[in-house]
Amino acid sequence: MAFRLWAKRFDSSADAPLAVSDDAARAVAQALTVDLTARHREAPSGPRAVDLYPRARHPLRRLW
Q: Which residue has the higher pLDDT, 64 or 7?
A: 7
Give the model confidence (pLDDT) of 10-56 as tens digits.
Answer: 888 888 878 888 888 999 998 888 766 655 556 667 888 888 888 88
- The residue among 38, 41, 44 whose CA lies nearest residue 57 is 44
- Rounded Cα distance between 27 and 64, Å, is 23
Q: Does the structure show a pLDDT above 70 at 6?
A: yes
User: Is residue 52 a contact partner of residue 60, using CB atoms and an 8 Å limit?
Assistant: no
**pLDDT value of position 41:** 56
